[in-house]
Amino acid sequence: MTINQNTDQVLAALAKQTVELPSWAFGNSGTRFKVFGTPGTPRDPFEKLSDAAQVHRYTGITPRVSLHIPWDLVDDFTELAARAAREGVTISVINSNLFQDDDYKFGSLTHADPAVRAKAVAHHVACLEVMRAVGSKELKIWLPDGTNYPGQDSLRARQDRLAESLAQIYTATRGDETILLEYKFFEPAFYHTDVPDWGTSLLHCLALGPRAKVCLDTGHHAPGTNIEFIVMQLLRQGRLGAFDFNSRFYADDDLMVGAADPFQLFRIMFEIVSQGALDPSSGVNFMLDQCHNIEPKIQGQIRSVMNIQEATARALLVDLAALGEAQREGDVLTANGLLMEAYSTDVRPLLAGLRESMGLAPDPLAAFKASGYEARVAATRVGGIQAGWGA
């Protein structure tokens, strides 16, 4: 069994990899049962950006931050963008919110009442304005719409209304702006969701036009779903727009990526790498979307980025030539063995080297912990209301 011996190529690919951070990962989150607070949690978008910048400072591959509107609304987005720049990051994808307004109890873009749909569309137009104020080119729509009980609403009518609402939003975009439509198997709706699977998301994107793409979140699938197959299929269609990393054992657990099934993460990254989608020019935006309910949040983000890097490095180490030959010959065990050979390799030294070549500490987590940042913000961020999913 062999692995890819071209270390330079592997390092070059790793050097180009980037991961986008979500501003909301730095605020408090939890379950319907309890949200635990932590000393030092940011109170506003500015402080979230500072925390996100820490992750970039120590990993070197997270130069972008996603915002969530209205959670990250500020009076002056120019000032926020400037703060980001000073911290060494940029503001990237803008995420809309369709689940926290009382009007959306029975739906937003799919609501039976045209006035509610219009409100939801208008919210996206406002998000587009934020994008233009901060220099973002991507609008991410996760549709929480759905129903809890059979018969509650017409599945078909909702789909038609959704198509109409999305078309209005798409019309409001400019030629260099992209819509990312995320799908989710269930939650917060428990009987049906209006965009439950990649197929539905893709159909809407195809109907909208070339600047609408699918966002795949690893936690948004039925048990047993082969996610790397979906990655392959969406790349084959040229419509994988974004990838939300996290991990799950049961439902949409939103645990740290790589924590539940590192082998699955490796298989996903292998599909991405082998289809050329790792390269930033591929147009796929790789992001974290997680909840650090009980672990320190900045540390949790750093660990997640490291997990992605390790999975990527292993994927890059697969000996593609040998693999192709074994596949053509129907040599099942050799083909599988070549994949496992790369997976079994300890890539931490390689990544430590990469970091040092970038002027970073070889162990980002240890370096961040040693920096004293956590104690500093815990001491200074006193008073005010800690940010969470509600603010």
Q: Is 115 in the site for a copy of itself (CB under 8 A)?
A: no
User: What's the rounded Cα separation, in Å, for the pair 188 and 57?
Assistant: 35
Give me the helices (H) in the chain, please.
Answer: 7-16, 45-59, 77-87, 114-134, 155-172, 198-208, 227-236, 262-274, 297-316, 320-328, 332-344, 348-357, 364-370, 373-380
Neighbours of 359 (CB within 10 A): 7
Quote the least distance from Cβ 353 to a copy of itself, whole Å: 16
Q: Which is nearer to a copy of itself, 53 or 318 (CB)?
A: 318
* 218: phi then psi, degrees, rounded to nearest 5: -60, -25
Q: Is 32 in the site for a copy of itself (CB under 8 A)?
A: yes
Per-residue burial over 177-215, b if 16 or more Cβ lie within 10 Å, else e, is: bbbbbbbbbeeebeebbbbbbbebbbbbbeebeebbbbb
The encoded tokens of residue 203 equal: 């159909």
Selected range binding a copy of itself among 10-18, 85-93, 174-182, 259-267, rule: CB under 8 A: 259-267
Q: Is 251 in the site for a copy of itself (CB under 8 A)?
A: yes
Element (H, E) at 141: strand 138-142
Q: Which is nearer to a copy of itself, 117 or 303 (CB)?
A: 303
The encoded tokens of residue 350 equal: 């390689």
Q: Which is nearer to a copy of itself, 175 or 223 (CB)?
A: 223
Q: Is 271 in the site for a copy of itself (CB under 8 A)?
A: yes
The encoded tokens of residue 332 equal: 């099942």
Binding residue for a copy of itself, selected from 335, 350, 354, 361, defined by CB under 8 A: 335
**Contact track, a copy of itself, 168-207, x by CB under 8 A:** -----------------xxxx-xxx---xxxxx-xx----
User: What's the rounded Cα separation, in Å, for the pair 269 and 277?
Assistant: 9
User: What's the rounded Cα separation, in Å, for the pair 80 and 11?
Assistant: 34
Q: Which is nearer to a copy of itself, 156 or 176 (CB)?
A: 156
Q: Is 102 in the site for a copy of itself (CB under 8 A)?
A: yes
Selected range binding a copy of itself among 63-71, 86-94, 233-241, 377-385, rule: CB under 8 A: 233-241
Per-residue burial over 150-161, b if 16 or more Cβ lie within 10 Å, else e, is: eeebeeeebbeb
Q: Which is nearer to a copy of itself, 16 or 105 (CB)?
A: 105
Quote the least distance from Cβ 272 to a copy of itself, whole Å: 11
User: What's the rounded Cα separation, in Å, for the pair 243 and 227?
Assistant: 11
Q: How far apart are the first and last CA of the chain?
A: 52
Q: Is 221 in the site for a copy of itself (CB under 8 A)?
A: yes
Coil, strand or helix: which one is 95? strand
Q: Is 114 in the site for a copy of itself (CB under 8 A)?
A: no
Selected range binding a copy of itself among 77-85, 99-107, 130-138, 376-384, rule: CB under 8 A: 99-107
Q: Is 106 in the site for a copy of itself (CB under 8 A)?
A: yes
Q: Is 24 in the site for a copy of itself (CB under 8 A)?
A: no
Quote the least distance from Cβ 140 to a copy of itself, whole Å: 16
Selected range binding a copy of itself among 26-34, 88-96, 133-141, 281-289, rule: CB under 8 A: 26-34
Angle at 140 between CA 272 and CA 119, to 5 degrees: 160
Binding residue for a copy of itself, selected from 4, 28, 29, 285, defined by CB under 8 A: 29
Q: Is 118 in the site for a copy of itself (CB under 8 A)?
A: no
Neighbours of 132 (CB within 10 A): 14
Q: Is 267 in the site for a copy of itself (CB under 8 A)?
A: yes
Q: Is 105 in the site for a copy of itself (CB under 8 A)?
A: yes
Quote the least distance from Cβ 176 to a copy of itself, whole Å: 27
Residues 272-331 that bind a copy of itself (CB under 8 A): 274-275, 293-296, 299-300, 303, 310, 318, 323-324, 327-328, 330
**Contact track, a copy of itself, 36-55, x by CB under 8 A:** xx------------------
Distances in whole angstroms, Cα of residue 323 to Cα of each of 194, 263, 272: 40, 18, 16
